[in-house]
Chains A and B, each alone.
Chain A
Amino acid sequence: MIVGNRKEFGEILEKLGSRRRVLVLGCNECVTVCGVGGEREVGVLASELRLFWQKEGETFEVKEHTLERQCDYEYIDSIRPFAGDYDVILSMACGAGVQYVAEAYKPQLVIPAVNTTFLGVTLEQGVWSERCQGCGNCILDMTGGICPIARCAKSLLNGPCGGSSGGKCEIDKDTDCAWQLIIDRLTESGQMERYEEIQPVRDWRSGRDGGPRRRVREDLKL
Chain B
Amino acid sequence: MSYPSNVKVVKIPCTGRVDVLLILRAFESGVDGVYVAGCMEGECHFLRGNIRARRRVEYAKRLLDEVGLGGGRVEMFNMSASEGQRFAQCAQEMTERVRSLGPSPVRKGKGVLP
Show the binding face of A for B, using Cβ within 8 Å: 8-10, 20-21, 40, 43-44, 47-48, 50-55, 57-61
From known contacts A20-B113, A47-B25, infer whether A55 and B105 are also in contact, taking CB-CB under 8 Å. yes
- Pair A50/B28 contact, Cβ less than 8 Å: yes
| Segment from B4-12, B35-43, B60-68 that makes contact with A | B60-68
For residue B108, which residue of chain A has the nearest CB?
A54
Nearest Cβ distance between residue A50 and chain B, in whole angstroms?
6
- Report Cα–Cα, A40/B21, bound state, in Å: 8
Would you call B99 an interface residue if the criterion is a C-beta within 8 Å of the partner chain's C-beta atoms? Answer: no
Nearest Cβ distance between residue A164 and chain B, in whole angstroms?
35
Interchain pairs with CB closer than 8 A, number: 57
For residue B62, which residue of chain A has the nearest CB?
A9
From known contacts A54-B106, A55-B106, infer whether A48 and B111 are also in contact, taking CB-CB under 8 Å. no
Would you call B45 an interface residue if the criterion is a C-beta within 8 Å of the partner chain's C-beta atoms? Answer: no
- Pair A61/B112 contact, Cβ less than 8 Å: yes
- Report Cα–Cα, A120/B16, bound state, in Å: 28
Task: Out of A9, A21, A47, A57, name the residue touching B111 (CB < 8 Å).
Answer: A57
Size category of the B interface is 20 to 34
- Pair B111/A60 contact, Cβ less than 8 Å: yes
- Pair A47/B21 contact, Cβ less than 8 Å: yes
- Pair A59/B112 contact, Cβ less than 8 Å: yes
- Report Cα–Cα, A44/B23, bound state, in Å: 10
- Report Cα–Cα, A168/B2, bound state, in Å: 58
- Pair A59/B111 contact, Cβ less than 8 Å: yes
- Pair A61/B113 contact, Cβ less than 8 Å: yes
Task: Out of B25, B66, B69, name the residue touching A10 (CB < 8 Å).
Answer: B66
Task: Out of B20, B68, B110, B113, name the residue touching A44 (CB < 8 Å).
Answer: B20
- Report Cα–Cα, A9/B113, bound state, in Å: 22
Would you call B107 an interface residue if the criterion is a C-beta within 8 Å of the partner chain's C-beta atoms? Answer: yes
Task: Out of A10, A20, A48, A50, name the residue touching B63 (CB < 8 Å).
Answer: A48
For residue A51, which residue of chain B has the nearest CB?
B67
Closest 7 CB pairs of A and B: A47-B24, A9-B66, A61-B113, A55-B105, A52-B67, A54-B106, A51-B67
Would you call B27 an interface residue if the criterion is a C-beta within 8 Å of the partner chain's C-beta atoms? Answer: yes
- Report Cα–Cα, A10/B65, bound state, in Å: 11
For residue B19, which residue of chain A has the nearest CB?
A40
Instruction: Kindly list chain B residues whose C-beta atoms are within 8 Å of the C-beta of A60.
Output: 111-113
Nearest Cβ distance between residue A39 and chain B, in whole angstroms?
10
Instruction: Kindly list chain B residues whose C-beta atoms are within 8 Å of the C-beta of A51.
Output: 24, 27-28, 64, 67, 69, 106
Nearest Cβ distance between residue A125 and chain B, in whole angstroms?
10
- Pair A54/B111 contact, Cβ less than 8 Å: yes
9 more contacts with CB within 8 A, not counting A10-B66, A51-B28, A60-B113, are A8-B66, A40-B19, A51-B24, A51-B106, A55-B67, A55-B69, A55-B105, A59-B113, A60-B112
Pairs A–B under 8 Å by Cβ, sample size 13: A40-B19, A43-B21, A47-B28, A48-B63, A48-B66, A51-B67, A51-B106, A52-B67, A54-B105, A55-B69, A58-B111, A60-B111, A61-B112
